[in-house]
A and B are shown apart, each in its own frame.
Chain A
Amino acid sequence: MSTAPDLVDYDDAVARYDPVIGIEVHVELGTASKMFDGAPTVFGAPPNTQVTPVSLGLPGSLPVVNRTAVESAILIGLALNCQIAEVCRFARKNYFYPDVPKNFQISQYDEPIAFDGWLDVELEDGTVLRVEIERAHMEEDAGKNTHVGGASGRIHGAEYSLVDYNRAGIPLVEIVTRPIAGVGERAPEVARAYVQTLRDIFRGLGVSEARMERGNVRADVNLSLRPSPDAPLGTRTETKNVNSFRSVERAVRYEICRQAAVLDAGATVIQETRHWHEDTGTTTPGRVKSDAEDYRYFPEPDLVPLAPSREWVQELRARLPEMPVARWHRLQTDWGYSDPEMRDVVNAGAVELIETTVAAGATPAAARKWWMGELARTANTEGVDLGALPVTPEQIGELQRLVDSGRLNDQLARQVLAGVLAGEGSPQEVAAARGLGIVSDDGALLAAVDEALAAQPDIAAKVRGGNLGPVGSIIGAVMKATRGQADAGRVRELVIERINQG
């Protein structure tokens, strides 16, 4: 029995209910070895080829903490404006599951390495929202189950499962927000923007490749509704398996619609973990746990406390790169872009490209013109990211220099660019090979001007008569004769000179 649940129209739901969201993000650190042992962490390796006795949880094995993982956790904590613990410990979270080789996970319980922070999240329209961060802590990842025999590889109806422990033991940092309230109908957008901002921070810090589609970044989305902002918090659900930014937004939206329908019917929302389905755009309940999971946390006896010295934390704080949002604000001011212009650049992922192009000598305006104009169009057509196009910011800089020096005009430059994209070489090389370049030799131009005047004899008379308009057709003819490679301004001068001469 599975009837689709009722859904309230979204606008209606947010008009009558106040959503409160909470987001837990897990990020896989890009360390060379695992959290508690030296097993390698290469993506995509054949199953069970990246395990040691420790990551397999063999009897007798013992964990040893990865220094770089701790550094990364502290960096993340600092980037999120958290306090860094003076002393913290690891704890065992005990539960049985085949992808957890010890049947406990080494995590942190009441002593996380970072806590009480905040993050300013900028939405697309420029609104900034401060999200409060409750904590960030370190833990190890579990292995991966593949379910065999059921429909679509899902767990229901599967006959058996296959487990690969390559991922077991990979370092994770879990970041938990405090309840995010007061966002109203923008809740889905806020959730999405928060996860995206975190992703940019992870990349900016260099602690993770942070690719959601690879599972480097995982988000669990919590949502509850209440009749009004003054009412106490409602019952919340937790939705897992949210594997992209878009899913984050859609899952929040869906849960708002679903919970509103439940509440409208006078029923209570069940506190449960739900599973997001990308294909149907819905959430379904997970198994109802009769045994409200008692994890029996206790301090990990095989590890000793971690007491990051204040000197070490200071050293790491000094290593913090500028946070993305602050950096964008600074660059926007330097470049003189308007708000919408900068936002477009950020959303297109073109900040670094433009930065490098400017460093290669182009003006910010010119750099933006190329990357957000011609190149963005090309990327769109090809269906690739801007950064994946076969042209470098340095080459764009070179191209712009050719325009600035008068060797190319815009139209020619675009032809040269096409050549570069086709792999014909650098802008200089393409211009030379294709014979593209503005003709600046007056002698050659005069010859073309004379020819054009000769071909349209009545134009000269008209122009001498005081009507400059027809000059355009002479210029046009000259441009055509020179295959567009004449400097139109100079041609105009020469045409008028010639006409006036006689």
Chain B
Amino acid sequence: MGDLIRRSAADLATALRSGEVSSVEVAQAHLDRIAAVDGAVHAFLHVCTDEALATAREVDARRSAGDELHPLAGVPIAVKDVVVTKGIPSTAGSKILQGWIPPYDATLVERLKAAGMPILGKTNMDEFAMGSSTEHSAYGNTHNPWDLDRIPGGSGGGSAAAVAAFEAPLAIGTDTGGSIRQPAAVTGTVGTKPTYGGVSRYGLIALASSLDQAGPVSRTVLDAALLHEVIGGHDPRDSTSLTDPLPDLVGAARLGANGDLTGVRVGVVHELNGEGYQAGVRARFEEALDLLRGAGAEVVEVGCPHFVHALAAYYLILPSEASSNLARFDGMRYGLRVEPSDGPVTAERVMGATRGAGFGDEVKRRIILGTYALSAGYYDAYYGNAQKVRTLVQRDFAAAFDQADVLVSPTAPTTAFKLGEKLDDPMAMYLNDVATIPANLAGVPGLSLPSGLDQGLPVGFQVLAPARADDRLYRVGAALEMLLEQRWGGPLLAQAPELAVTA
């Protein structure tokens, strides 16, 4: 059974359906792997051993009874700790929610449970999803399985690392400015940010309401499509949820895997492939473009001139919405409560003391920035203008998608940097998201898949599609994946160093 953890979710699903292996065996194998390597990786904040095995047992029982089961029933999954799980601690990586046990499940969790997927645990993240390295977690760093001294990306470094370290075949992430795609790039895994509204936000601890989306984290493009179909679709509890049915994502992935992209126009975004991007990152990108050409795709260059302002707009819109979304954490109803060390104990002062003690630096920075941007007298210049830049970015995408069916770029400008390297310079940290942010502003979907290594560290390739055309991501992604793996003789992760196993 040693190889159970190396299998893709699709393979596991087949094995489970054929009876080759039981859900309990699969869940246990992953729990064992977590016990063996997570001391070093620290992808998990909480491991749900009992719950996972209980779900696995139930699935096995129902399978024996001949019940009709979801295709992914019995395939285990890890969930980013920003997603609310009933009866299971949910911290959003923050001390202010230490020990909080939600009384309800997020909609996407209900769908995972309905599909019979055992939840292995909650994964580490930058506090309240603010960050690009998971170093802002209040619960310690997560380490990149490729090199434990390096960051796994952020904010969803835990989910990506868990999947990259074979602790889970699948994970749930959330992406507000790249928090699924950038960790995928630096860990050699696959991640998708769906079209805004494509996956319910009910139960996602909110960061920036108009930017947040939950999405799949996996090791293969097909696995991501399978998971996307489980969690996607309309939810009446989320007013921003799309009513359109999901396109056939799995079908698109299977189609793409035959490697034929004849007639597909691929647009290279001029503004997302330039200065500040590591040489090796750009080289892998160019090589991938050659493969796409070889598959029959027509590669064109497109200009999105307003993308250069996207980072600035993002770092106004996000903090503004976040400053309001995080106001509820005040020690009155749940979570941490801290009393001021001296002076009268009033509600107002307890709020100040609680938030002062419970929030980390990055969160404080962004809340104050957001409070400023929304302030009377500053609103028009900051928040108001940022929303205008958003319009311009959307227009750029619309024009670009007239010329191309998908847009592509390197996912991130660099490979995984060392832990601690960018902590002192917030602006330098923000630049990690420069290629991923435009998609969040416009609401269009994006996917990252591994495109190779640069000095032994993974590089990611980003595919973007028009809103509601998430299937295009999977078709192009699957095609590229097939061609790359053909070249590598197997998945990129097979080249990752073996993690030391603690007995």
Asked if A and B touch directly (CB within 8 angstroms), the answer is: yes
Name A's B-contacting residues (CB within 8 A).
53, 56-65, 92, 94, 96, 98, 101-104, 161, 163, 294, 296-298, 301-304
Complex Cα gap A297–B324 (Å): 10
Complex Cα gap A61–B238 (Å): 9
Among B64-72, B101-109, B254-262, B403-411, the stretch that binds chain A is B101-109
Known pairs A302-B209, A302-B240; A59 contacts B324 (CB<8 A): no
Query: Chain B residues with Cβ under 8 A from A101's Cβ?
Result: 328, 333
Instruction: Determine whether the beta carbon of A96 is less than 8 Å from that of B348.
Output: yes
Query: Chain B residues with Cβ under 8 A from A297's Cβ?
Result: 374
Known pairs A296-B376, A301-B321, A302-B239; A60 contacts B383 (CB<8 A): no
Known pairs A94-B374, A163-B332; A60 contacts B203 (CB<8 A): yes
Instruction: Determine whether the beta carbon of B374 is less than 8 Å from that of A296.
Output: yes
Known pairs A94-B374, A102-B328; A59 contacts B206 (CB<8 A): yes
Instruction: Determine whether the beta carbon of A53 is less than 8 Å from that of B103.
Output: yes
In the complex formed, the residue of B with least CB distance to A302 is B209
In the complex formed, the residue of B with least CB distance to A65 is B239
Query: Chain A residues with Cβ under 8 A from B236's Cβ?
Result: 64
The 8 closest A-B pairs by CB, nearest first: A103-B327, A301-B209, A296-B374, A60-B84, A301-B210, A59-B205, A60-B203, A294-B376
- Nearest-neighbour CB distance to chain B for A49, whole angstroms, equals 14
Complex Cα gap A61–B371 (Å): 22
Complex Cα gap A104–B321 (Å): 12
- Nearest-neighbour CB distance to chain B for A290, whole angstroms, equals 12
Query: Chain B residues with Cβ under 8 A from A64's Cβ?
Result: 236-239
Complex Cα gap A298–B384 (Å): 9
Q: At the interface, yes or no: B330 with Cβ under 8 Å from chain A?
A: yes
Complex Cα gap A63–B320 (Å): 19
- Nearest-neighbour CB distance to chain A for B466, whole angstroms, equals 20
Contact pick for B102, options A58, A96, A104, A298, CB 8 Å:
A58
Instruction: Determine whether the beta carbon of A298 is less than 8 Å from that of B328.
Output: no
Q: At the interface, yes or no: B139 with Cβ under 8 Å from chain A?
A: no
- Nearest-neighbour CB distance to chain A for B359, whole angstroms, equals 14
In the complex formed, the residue of B with least CB distance to A56 is B333
Query: Chain A residues with Cβ under 8 A from B209's Cβ?
Result: 301-302
Complex Cα gap A141–B122 (Å): 35
Complex Cα gap A62–B102 (Å): 15
Known pairs A58-B102, A62-B201; A103 contacts B210 (CB<8 A): no
Complex Cα gap A297–B204 (Å): 23
30 of the cross-chain contacts (CB-CB < 8 Å) are: A53-B102, A57-B328, A57-B333, A58-B84, A59-B84, A59-B97, A59-B102, A59-B328, A60-B202, A61-B202, A61-B203, A62-B237, A62-B239, A94-B374, A96-B330, A96-B348, A103-B327, A104-B324, A104-B327, A296-B375, A298-B324, A298-B374, A298-B379, A298-B383, A301-B208, A301-B240, A302-B201, A302-B239, A303-B239, A304-B240
Query: Chain B residues with Cβ under 8 A from A298's Cβ?
Result: 320-321, 324, 374, 379, 383
Query: Chain A residues with Cβ under 8 A from B201's Cβ?
Result: 62, 302
Name B's A-contacting residues (CB within 8 A).
83-84, 90, 92, 97, 100, 102-104, 106, 201-206, 208-210, 236-240, 320-321, 323-324, 327-330, 332-334, 347-348, 351, 371, 374-376, 379, 383
Query: Chain A residues with Cβ under 8 A from B237's Cβ?
Result: 62, 64
**Interface residues of chain B: helix, strand, loop or mixed (majority):** loop
Complex Cα gap A474–B470 (Å): 105
Complex Cα gap A163–B375 (Å): 29
In the complex formed, the residue of B with least CB distance to A93 is B324
Pick the most buried of B102, B321, B323, B324: most chain A CB atoms within 10 A of its CB: B324
Instruction: Determine whether the beta carbon of B239 is less than 8 Å from that of A296.
Output: no
Complex Cα gap A94–B201 (Å): 22
- Nearest-neighbour CB distance to chain A for B8, whole angstroms, equals 30
Complex Cα gap A98–B348 (Å): 9
- Nearest-neighbour CB distance to chain B for A16, whole angstroms, equals 37
Complex Cα gap A296–B382 (Å): 12
Known pairs A60-B203, A61-B202, A301-B321; A294 contacts B327 (CB<8 A): no
Apart from A53-B103, A64-B239, A94-B324, 8 more pairs, CB < 8 Å = A59-B102, A59-B206, A60-B205, A98-B347, A302-B206, A302-B239, A303-B240, A304-B240
Complex Cα gap A56–B335 (Å): 14
Pick the most buried of A57, A98, A163: most chain B CB atoms within 10 A of its CB: A98
Instruction: Determine whether the beta carbon of A103 is less than 8 Å from that of B328.
Output: yes
Query: Chain B residues with Cβ under 8 A from A62's Cβ?
Result: 201-202, 237-239
Query: Chain B residues with Cβ under 8 A from A98's Cβ?
Result: 332, 347
- Nearest-neighbour CB distance to chain A for B218, whole angstroms, equals 23
- Nearest-neighbour CB distance to chain B for A407, whole angstroms, equals 64
Query: Chain B residues with Cβ under 8 A from A58's Cβ?
Result: 84, 102-104, 334
- Nearest-neighbour CB distance to chain B for A20, whole angstroms, equals 26
Query: Chain B residues with Cβ under 8 A from A53's Cβ?
Result: 102-104
Query: Chain A residues with Cβ under 8 A from B104's Cβ?
Result: 53, 58, 60
- Nearest-neighbour CB distance to chain B for A47, whole angstroms, equals 13
Instruction: Determine whether the beta carbon of B327 is less than 8 Å from that of A102.
Output: yes
Contact pick for A94, options B92, B202, B327, B383, CB 8 Å:
B327
In the complex formed, the residue of B with least CB distance to A37 is B237
Query: Chain A residues with Cβ under 8 A from B102's Cβ?
Result: 53, 58-60
- Nearest-neighbour CB distance to chain A for B149, whole angstroms, equals 33
Query: Chain A residues with Cβ under 8 A from B206's Cβ?
Result: 59-60, 302
Complex Cα gap A354–B374 (Å): 57
- Nearest-neighbour CB distance to chain B for A65, whole angstroms, equals 7
Complex Cα gap A94–B347 (Å): 17
Instruction: Determine whether the beta carbon of B327 is less than 8 Å from that of A161.
Output: no
Query: Chain A residues with Cβ under 8 A from B84's Cβ?
Result: 58-60
Query: Chain A residues with Cβ under 8 A from B351's Cβ?
Result: 96
Complex Cα gap A299–B103 (Å): 29
Query: Chain A residues with Cβ under 8 A from B333's Cβ?
Result: 56-57, 101
In the complex formed, the residue of B with least CB distance to A61 is B202
Complex Cα gap A57–B333 (Å): 9
Complex Cα gap A103–B323 (Å): 11
Query: Chain A residues with Cβ under 8 A from B383's Cβ?
Result: 298
Complex Cα gap A60–B204 (Å): 4
- Nearest-neighbour CB distance to chain B for A450, whole angstroms, equals 88
Complex Cα gap A137–B240 (Å): 22
Instruction: Determine whether the beta carbon of B240 is less than 8 Å from that of A96.
Output: no
Complex Cα gap A62–B327 (Å): 15
Instruction: Determine whether the beta carbon of A96 is less than 8 Å from that of B327.
Output: yes
- Nearest-neighbour CB distance to chain A for B82, whole angstroms, equals 9
Complex Cα gap A301–B90 (Å): 23
In the complex formed, the residue of A with least CB distance to B317 is A301
- Nearest-neighbour CB distance to chain B for A376, whole angstroms, equals 50
Complex Cα gap A92–B374 (Å): 11
- Nearest-neighbour CB distance to chain B for A145, whole angstroms, equals 10
In the complex formed, the residue of B with least CB distance to A145 is B347
In the complex formed, the residue of B with least CB distance to A300 is B209
Known pairs A62-B201, A103-B330, A163-B332; A296 contacts B103 (CB<8 A): no
- Nearest-neighbour CB distance to chain A for B180, whole angstroms, equals 18
- Nearest-neighbour CB distance to chain A for B52, whole angstroms, equals 22
Query: Chain A residues with Cβ under 8 A from B205's Cβ?
Result: 59-60
- Nearest-neighbour CB distance to chain A for B211, whole angstroms, equals 9
Query: Chain A residues with Cβ under 8 A from B324's Cβ?
Result: 92, 94, 104, 296, 298
- Nearest-neighbour CB distance to chain B for A164, whole angstroms, equals 12
Query: Chain A residues with Cβ under 8 A from B92's Cβ?
Result: 59
In the complex formed, the residue of A with least CB distance to B352 is A96
Complex Cα gap A302–B379 (Å): 19
Contact pick for A296, options B90, B328, B348, B371, CB 8 Å:
B371
Query: Chain A residues with Cβ under 8 A from B202's Cβ?
Result: 60-62
Complex Cα gap A301–B207 (Å): 11
Complex Cα gap A303–B103 (Å): 24
Query: Chain B residues with Cβ under 8 A from A302's Cβ?
Result: 201, 206, 209, 239-240
- Nearest-neighbour CB distance to chain B for A105, whole angstroms, equals 11
Complex Cα gap A139–B320 (Å): 21
Complex Cα gap A454–B376 (Å): 100
- Nearest-neighbour CB distance to chain B for A44, whole angstroms, equals 22
- Nearest-neighbour CB distance to chain B for A303, whole angstroms, equals 5
Complex Cα gap A59–B209 (Å): 12
